[in-house]
Amino acid sequence: MIEVVMPQMGESIVEGTLTRWLKKPGEKVERDEPLFEISTDKVDTEIPSPAAGVLAEILVQEGETVAIKTLVAKISEGGEAAAPAAAPAEEKKEAAAEPPPSEKVKDGVPEAPAAAPTQAAPAPAAPAPQQEAVDADEVLGPLSPLVRKMAREYNIDLSQVRGTGAGGRISKQDLEAYMAAQGARTIESAPAAAAAAPAAPKAAPAPAAPVAPLQPLKNRVEPLSIMRQKIAEHMVNSKRTSPHVTTIHRVDMTKIAKLRDKAKNEFKNRNGFSLTFLSFVTQATAQALRAFPIVNASIEGTNILYHGDINIGIAVALDGGLIVPVIKNADEKNTTGLQRSIADLANRARSKQLKPDDISGGTFSITNFGSFGSLFATPVINQPQVAILGTGSVIKEAVVQEDDSIAIRSMMYLALTFDHRLIDGALADQFCQKVKQILENWSEQIL
Amino acid sequence: MLCEVQDLGRLGWAEAYERQRALAEQRKRDEIPNQLLFVEHPHVVTLGRNAHEENILAPREVLERAGIQMFETNRGGDVTYHGPGQIVGYPILDLNGWKRDVHAYVRTLEESIIRALNQFGIQGERSSLNTGVWVNGAKICAIGVHISRWVTSHGFALNLDTDLNYFRYIVPCGLSAPVTSMEQQGVRATRAEVIDALVHHFSECFEFEVQVLETAQ
């Protein structure tokens, strides 16, 4: 059995991502024929097979990043051992008889994030684990480094674990299932054991018996998605560009809440999407932006660019990121029109159907963290805009009224973050008061 | 070591890819010396091996309507755009005769581009974020490489006077790192001048002897 390892593609390279297998288990491969592809640092590399034979086993799946010298596959020489089931017998002999080249140890061990799989591979460096690994192989056939490592960490007797993989091979899932079952049993039997006083120690000198079947938390390295990288860069860039100041205003949404309660069922029936507070806030904001054009502006060098259009971006949370599609000419739309745009953009953002035009040209942004229960937050400006409005949850509160009575009102915090290079606090607050005043004195019909 | 340099001029992406493949095979068999090809592609969006579909924003129809072709490739990296005004370089090098080191290769490629840009007064730099060459946080040159038996293909794409608007089709969320071009950096230079500079610094950084071939196109 020939062992195939993650090659070292350069002096400073300690790991590689296996991007694609070019052969399937059981398939024949010629010596030097491309066997798999790896990716490091935007370089994609085809790795040729070190020997002719049959790809017996794949130990590292596509998408996994492993340390160099990690065992990624095994190739059986001579066609007859093609079936994976036939592998264990042959493998057993090899593992015991053929010490891996010492280079393996020298190169593989020092790298911290990668140490685990390397160590678990049958390497002569660590006598104890190796012993165990070889023993396990004798009895149980080939085990993945991960399974060996887990077995060692949780002190599991592998001969007790039922393997469901090819040829009865024990997989990580098998081990987890076993641990879960063991954990359950331990808990069940705990009171009895306690009653029986000094519980007889098990054969294995278990320092920590698997009491609770907790999933092991491990260090894990995974690359930032491209979207994440872009967001990170954008956020840092924005904070570096603009002195951020956030001002908070409290708005009484009771009138709108009542209007919405009355209209929402019919609205939904008629339009097929729900009426939310966000469309009211967007409409009020668009009107306020008309009154305060400097909030709808950008800084260009030593000039102020007042935008001719009011294009409001609405932040939409996605899995692992966010996107800010834009409602063009938001000031020309009514509540229903805005709600339609919001629903449409959010849907298409989540189903990745946005067009380039949908996310460009924004002149101001709104982020509705209230939908996740936040009262108020301090959002980051979406450059090159100069302000962003955050809307908190609408919550019923006991509010002292003008006449000193106390009433239950639907309240919401508005948080405006503005670029203090261009906008001063007084103006920002006037802008917020404008939005507040429009919302509290809502006069438009909705339907 | 000898490296032949050839400017193929305007060439479709698929044709250039075939050409690269054929040359890489020849290079593996040691039938030809190292090669450095320059081309200019018509509008095209290509997906690297690690490409995330979500980084193409426009549906295929929209791209087609905008006259942009789309290809999947075997280079490293994500989605990128090529088009007129961009100097695309494809080094077909046998790294066995140089250094068998992927990082060293990419870093040296970056270095030669940074030096060439410097000749035009542009301060190019590397970014920890991403391979390629950057100017003030904007990418001016993208890099994506494929290696098979230590023979390289694909390479770099330097924006000379590219219409940067085309990049918006692959911008992943309006929050993208900006792209820039030599023109946007205030440099007026011809394609031939920039290629000359690139060849010069490429040969210095890699310590290759270059031989510029006359091109039919």
Pick among B166, B175, B176 to test the A interface (most A CBs inside 10 A): B175
Inter-chain touch B143–A42, beta carbons under 8 Å: yes
Whether the Cβ atoms of residue A219 and residue A112 lie closer than 8 Å to each other: no
Q: How far apart, in whole angstroms, are the C-alpha atoms of residue A173 and residue A150?
A: 11
Q: ipTM score here?
A: 0.73
- Sequence letter at residue A96: A
The answer on pLDDT for A95 being more than 50 is no
Q: Using the beta-carbon criterion (under 8 Å), do A234 and B175 form an inter-chain contact?
A: yes
Q: Answer whether B78 touches A (CB < 8 Å).
A: yes
Tell me the average pLDDT across B184-194.
Answer: 94
- Both structure tokens of B130: 């991403």
Average confidence (pLDDT) over B90-97: 94
CB < 8 Å to B21, chain A: none
| Tokens 């996994």 sit on residue | A64
**Average predicted confidence (pLDDT) for chain A:** 78
In whole angstroms, what is the distance from residue A306 CA to residue A170 CA? 66
Choose the closest CB to B173 out of A43, A237, A359. Answer: A359
Q: So what's the pLDDT on residue A96? A: 39
pLDDT tens string A387-431 = 999 999 999 999 999 999 999 999 999 999 999 999 999 999 999
Residue A142 has what pLDDT?
58
Q: Which residues of B touch A225 (CB under 8 A)?
A: 52
What's the average model confidence in pLDDT over A177-202?
52
Question: CA separation (Å) from A294 to A105, A297, A365, A428, B200?
Answer: 64, 5, 14, 10, 50
pLDDT reading at B115 higher than 90: yes
Q: Which residue of B has its CA nearest to A350?
A: B54
Residue A167 confidence (pLDDT): 57
Q: Is A41's pLDDT higher than 70?
A: no
Inter-chain touch B173–A12, beta carbons under 8 Å: no
Residue from A17, A36, A226 to probe the interface with B (highest B Cβ count within 10 Å) = A226
pLDDT one-digit tens code per residue, A233-243: 889 999 999 99
Residue A154 has pLDDT above 80, yes or no: no
Task: Using pLDDT thresholds of 50, 70 and 90, give the confidence band for residue B3.
Answer: very high
pLDDT tens sequence across A158-169: 777 777 665 566
Mean pLDDT for the stretch of residues A376-380: 95
* A390: helix, strand or coil: strand
Answer with the residue of higher pLDDT: A212 or A362. A362
User: Cα dihedral angle (A228, A233, A237, A243), rounded to 10 degrees?
Assistant: 30
Question: Residues A252-262: what's their mean pLDDT?
Answer: 93
Residue A188 pLDDT = 44
Q: What angle (nearest 5°) sits at the alpha carbon of residue B129, between those of residues A325 and A48?
A: 110
Residues A340, A127: Cα–Cα separation, whole Å: 67
When mean pLDDT is compared across A116-120, B14-18, B30-34, B88-92, the lowest value belongs to A116-120
Q: Could you give the percent of chain A with pLDDT greater than 70?
A: 72
**Burial readout A110-145 (b: 16 or more C-beta within 10 A, e: otherwise):** eeeebebbbbbbbbeeeeebbebbeebbeebbbbbb
B96 touches chain A (CB under 8 A): no
For chain A, what is the total number of helices (H) and then of strands (E)? 11, 19
With bands split at pLDDT 50, 70 and 90, how would you rate the model's confidence at A348?
confident
Burial classification of residue B138, based on how many CB atoms lie within 10 Å of its CB (0-12 exposed, 13-18 middle, 19 or more buried) = middle
- Asked if A360 lies within 8 A of B74 by C-beta distance, the reply is no
Compute the nearest-CA separation of A22 from chain B (Å): 12
Mean pLDDT value across residues A318-345: 89
Mean pLDDT of A51-55: 90
Contact B74 A37 (CB under 8 A): yes
Residue B92 three-state SS: strand
Residue A145 pLDDT: 60
B83 is written with which tokens? 């088009």
Instruction: Say what the pLDDT of residue A385 is.
Output: 96
Tokens representing residue B159 in the block: 């924006």
**Cα gap A71→A342, rounded to integer Å:** 51
Separation CA B75–CA B78 (nearest Å): 9
Q: Between A212 and A13, name the one with better pLDDT.
A: A13
What angle, 0 to 180 degrees and rounded to 10, lies between the N-to-C axes of helices A254-271 and A335-350?
70
Closest by Cβ to A10, choosing from B50, B104, B171:
B104
Contact A41 B58 (CB under 8 A): no
Alpha-carbon distance B120 to nearest alpha carbon in chain A (angstroms): 24
Name the percent of chain A in helix, strand, coil, to the closest 5: 40, 20, 40
